[in-house]
Amino acid sequence: MAATRTHAQLFNSHGFAVMSAAEEYNMSYEDSGIPSVCETFKEVLAECESCGMRKPPILLKKCRQLIKVGGHNSMRGDIWRVFLGISETKTRTNFDYKGNVAELGERLNKCGLTESTCDANIRRISALLDGQYLPLSEEDIKWLRNARQIMLDIGRTFPTHRLYIGETKEKISLLRVLMMYAKFNTSVGYCQGMAYIAALLLMHMTNEEDVFWSILTIFDSEKYLARFYDRKLSRMQTCGGIFSLLLKDRQTKLAQHLVAYTHCMYILSILQKRAGVRYL
């Protein structure tokens, strides 16, 4: 009798659990990069990094050509790091990542918490916010709310990826990175959705601090996602509105179907609240 294989035993080439036989074609493929392409790309990236944000057109052209060739998945993290310009971000930003991570550990310990996203931590934070243990300042309340939301979201972020199944070191790194961003950008703190971007970066970057500087560049730069994750989600709403208009213009039937579906979901949610039961 053949042994039963579980999701914890089989993953595709991107690290996600295999849920069906149709996905297994990816199992034998592990892209570590084509040696000649990788070596060339490393040289070009080193030149790009030495040029800072003003990269010569000839180097950008070389990078585009190498990206089209493919075979460099193992270098994806390095490519993102160089083209996001995190070295420049780090130079012009007065923020001690390692020092603040150490302070985070001390603060968690003071509250009876650990560097973990486990349910026990989340329950403890809820109890602290309810005033069951320690008197809290406004700053403490804001910090604990951010911590609880981050922990809850990490549990829902890529739950079938091998790096995020169970209590892994990558989950702890993700917790630290998001808590550090919330500390750095106090006007925004943490917004739902940030965890997915940081988790994707952690899949390809081996250095946790590089992930922090990358999300800082992505979330705070107008070139990337500035104001997508502010309290009002202002830029996201603008882009969503533009997309809705384009969809209505180019795919009218699909747009009408989505509007009807949204209305149905809204009505169901109202009925659910009134009846106190879950329909979905």
Q: pLDDT tens, 8-20? A: 458 888 889 887 6
pLDDT band at 27 (very low <50, low <70, confident <90, very high): very low
User: Does residue 86 register a pLDDT over 60?
Assistant: yes
Residues 248-273, mean pLDDT to the nearest whole number = 87
Question: What CA–CA distance (Å, rounded) separates 212 from 188?
Answer: 15
* pLDDT at res. 56: 85
* Residue 79 identity: I
Alpha helix locations (H) across 12-56?
35-50
Q: What percent of the chain has pLDDT over 70?
A: 89
Cβ–Cβ under 8 Å, residues 17 and 161: yes
Higher pLDDT, 49 or 2: 49
Q: Could you tell me which residue, 213 or 206, shows the higher pLDDT?
A: 213
The per-residue pLDDT for 280 is 46
Give the integer Cα–Cα distance in Å for 165 and 42.
Answer: 32
- Three-state DSSP class for 161? strand
Q: Is the pLDDT of residue 257 over 70?
A: yes
Contact 40, 66 (CB under 8 A): yes
The label of the residue with tokens 């882009």 reads: 239
pLDDT for 22 equals: 52
Is the pLDDT at 166 greater than 70? The verdict is yes
- What's the mean pLDDT when you consider all of the chain? 86
Between CA 215 and CA 232 the distance in angstroms is: 19
Question: Who's near 79: CB < 8 A, 6+ residues apart?
Answer: 41, 45, 63, 67, 72
Measure the CA–CA gap between 118 and 154, rounded to whole angstroms. 10
Give the whole-angstrom CA distance, residue 66 versus residue 43. Answer: 12
In this structure, of 161-170, 224-233, 249-258, the range with the lowest mean pLDDT score is 224-233
Strand, coil or helix: what is 273?
A: helix
pLDDT of 25 over the 70 cut: no
How far is residue 126's CA from residue 77's CA, in Å, rounded to a whole number? Answer: 36
Return the pLDDT at 33: 56
157 touches 196 (CB < 8 A): yes
29 band by pLDDT with thresholds 50, 70 and 90: very low
Query: Distance between CA atoms of 179 and 172, rounded to whole angstroms?
Result: 11
Nearest Cα to 221, choosing from 82, 84, 93, 60? 84
* Spatial separation of the C-alpha atoms in residues 209 and 90, rounded to whole Å: 10
Q: Which residues pair with 161 in a beta bridge?
A: 16
CA distance 146 to 204: 25
**What is the mean pLDDT of the segment spanning 217-244?**
89
Residue 75 has pLDDT above 80, yes or no: yes
Angle at 206 between CA 81 and CA 110, to 5 degrees: 110
Per-residue model confidence (pLDDT) at position 93: 92
- For the entire predicted model, the pTM comes to 0.82
